[in-house]
């Protein structure tokens, strides 16, 4: 019963979601996206979600589309996806890249997830989970996306991402493991353009999101304050209902986390007020 209600709500709200998410005066006029072209793009993304197995919401794909389309076409930057599974999100991102005249770089082992390190708190997956062979991914994107915009980079992230040396406008990281996320952030962040974006999919676990708030991490590797993360713990507010935490969700069958979380290179998420230090300073303490 609850599953039927959720699926019905999901389907009935598609046109509303497309309208609200893509309703932005910041979408650049050079893309010539009329009302009907926005709807066509949105419905294609929704249908691709049904056609190609994917663990991500078409709403998160629309949110990424919005950020890409709000960026003027003369600003540099490729779009990067790390972790593609069967190519569902990549197919949708390729449609946006075709409109925006950008390249989509798809990084994946095409062998499924690696064996998780024992120190990784997300290493509860089986080795090989989310396996999508390269030929199948290409076939799906060719059928439902714009494969002419895509470049495929096969291999483990720690072997392939160090070779990334082009400007990146937006990166979508659907990599599951903590250490995979860290590898992606460390090698992609320096390549982000000034107002470049990182989107993640594993957003309900606060420990996982904490990399974007860790002052020690960002000082050690980038000599800057942490950027923070929009949607940490709950996802973006795109028309679904979720209070959290995930561990309680079996008792709230109509609650469902929403679509993704993101940060931008020029963001700041650092706390600066320490009253006890100020008091010591006033008293001449150290």
| Residue of 248 and 193 predicted with greater confidence | 193
Q: Please state which CATH class domain 2-282 belongs to.
A: alpha beta
Q: Whole-angstrom Cα distance, residue 49 to residue 55? A: 9
Percentage of the chain modeled with pLDDT above 70: 97
Output the pLDDT for position 222.
98
Output the pLDDT for position 24.
97
Output the pLDDT for position 259.
84
pLDDT single digits (tens) 90-129: 999 999 999 999 999 999 999 999 999 999 999 999 999 9
pLDDT single digits (tens) 177-211: 999 999 999 999 999 999 999 999 999 999 999 99
- How many beta carbons lie within 10 A of that of residue 73, not counting itself? 12
Q: Work out the pLDDT band at 279, boundaries 50, 70, 90.
A: low
Q: Work out the pLDDT band at 62, boundaries 50, 70, 90.
A: very high
pLDDT single digits (tens) 27-44: 999 999 999 999 999 999
User: Exposure string (b/e) for 252-284, b if CB count within 10 Å is 16 or more?
Assistant: eeebebbbbbbbbbebebeeeeeeeeeeeeeee
Q: Work out the pLDDT band at 278, boundaries 50, 70, 90.
A: low
Percentage of the chain modeled with pLDDT above 90: 84
The domain ranges of the chain are: 2-282
Q: Work out the pLDDT band at 7, boundaries 50, 70, 90.
A: confident
The answer, yes or no, to whether residue 20 has pLDDT greater than 90, is yes
- Mean pLDDT value across residues 72-79: 97
């Amino acid at each position: 019963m609850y599953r039927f209600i959720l699926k019905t709500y999901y389907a009935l709200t598609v046109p509303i979601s497309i309208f609200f998410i893509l309703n932005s005066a910041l979408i650049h006029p050079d893309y010539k996206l009329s009302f009907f072209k926005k709807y066509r793009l949105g419905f294609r993304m929704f249908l691709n979600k049904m056609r190609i197995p994917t663990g991500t919401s078409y709403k998160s794909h629309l949110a990424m589309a919005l950020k890409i389309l709000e960026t003027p076409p003369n600003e540099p930057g490729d779009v990067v996806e790390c972790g593609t599974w069967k190519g569902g999100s990549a197919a949708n991102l390729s449609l946006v890249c075709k409109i925006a005249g950008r390249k989509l770089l798809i990084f994946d082992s095409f062998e499924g997830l690696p064996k998780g390190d024992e120190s990784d708190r997300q290493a509860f997956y089986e080795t090989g989970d989310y396996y999508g062979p390269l030929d199948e991914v290409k076939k799906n994107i060719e059928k439902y996306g714009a494969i002419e915009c895509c470049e495929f980079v096969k291999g483990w992230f720690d072997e392939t991402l160090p070779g990334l040396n082009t400007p990146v406008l937006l990166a979508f990281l659907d990599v599951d493991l903590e250490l995979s996320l860290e590898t992606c952030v460390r090698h992609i962040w320096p390549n982000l353009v000034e107002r470049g974006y990182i989107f993640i999919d594993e957003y309900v676990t606060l420990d996982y999101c904490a990399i974007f708030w860790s002052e020690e991490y960002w000082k050690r590797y980038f000599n800057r304050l942490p950027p923070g993360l929009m949607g940490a713990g709950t996802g973006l507010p795109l028309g679904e209902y979720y209070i959290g935490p995930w561990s309680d969700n079996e008792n709230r069958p109509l609650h469902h986390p929403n679509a993704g979380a993101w940060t931008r290179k020029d963001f700041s998420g650092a706390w600066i007020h320490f009253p006890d230090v100020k008091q010591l300073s006033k008293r001449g303490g150290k």
